[in-house]
Amino acid sequence: MHIYKAIHTAIKAHEGQIRKLDQDIYVAHPIEVGMILAKNNLSDEVIVSGILHDTVEDTPLTLDEIELAFGPIVRLYVDYCSECDKSDSWKNRKLNYLARLRNAPLDVLFIVCADKLTNIKSIYRNLNDLGEQLWSRFNAGYEEQKWYYYEILNLLSPIADHPLYSELEKQIRLVFIH
Any idea which residues carry the catalytic annotation? Answer: 57-58
| Cα separation values, 55 from 76, 120, 166, Å | 13, 20, 27
178, 127 contact by CB (below 8 A): yes
Which of 36, 20, 42 is closest to 136 using CA atoms? 20
Tell me which residue of 81, 95, 77 sits closest to 148, measured CA to CA. Answer: 95
By the 8 A CB rule, do 80 and 101 touch? yes
Integer Cα distance of 109 and 119 in angstroms: 15
Q: What are phi and psi of 25, to 5 degrees?
A: -60, 135
